[in-house]
């Protein structure tokens, strides 16, 4: 990944942070931190990195926390960003008008 690709990805992340539900925004925040780790080749301690990865793999009671660490894990792995389907923090009332 070169500088222009990472710049475009950071722009996409910023855009998605603005447009996303709070739950999805947590994923994007985590993804941003993880992709920085991936791009820089690991600028945090190995212990901290594996601690966050371990948390990401555990079932956790706070869905916002889980979304963040799942995004971090995906970024660290260099995966393509995923739009999280867990944006359950917005009303789902999709009443369609008759007619």
Q: What does the pLDDT read at residue 60?
A: 61
Distance from C-alpha of 91 to C-alpha of 95, rounded to nearest angstrom: 11
Distance from C-alpha of 17 to C-alpha of 3, rounded to nearest angstrom: 21
* Chain position carrying tokens 């008759």: 98
Q: What is the pLDDT of residues 18-67, one digit of tens each?
A: 998 999 999 999 899 888 888 877 666 677 777 777 766 666 678 888 88
């Amino acid at each position: 990944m070169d500088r222009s690709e990472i710049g475009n990805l950071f722009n996409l992340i910023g855009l998605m942070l603005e447009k996303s539900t709070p739950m999805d925004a947590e994923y994007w925040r985590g993804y941003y931190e993880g992709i920085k780790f991936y791009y820089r080749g690991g600028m945090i301690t190995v212990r901290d990195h594996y601690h966050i990865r371990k948390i990401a793999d555990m079932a956790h009671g706070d869905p916002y926390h889980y979304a963040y660490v799942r995004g971090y894990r995906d970024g660290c792995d260099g995966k393509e960003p995923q739009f999280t389907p867990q944006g359950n923090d917005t009303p789902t009332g999709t009443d369609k008008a008759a007619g």
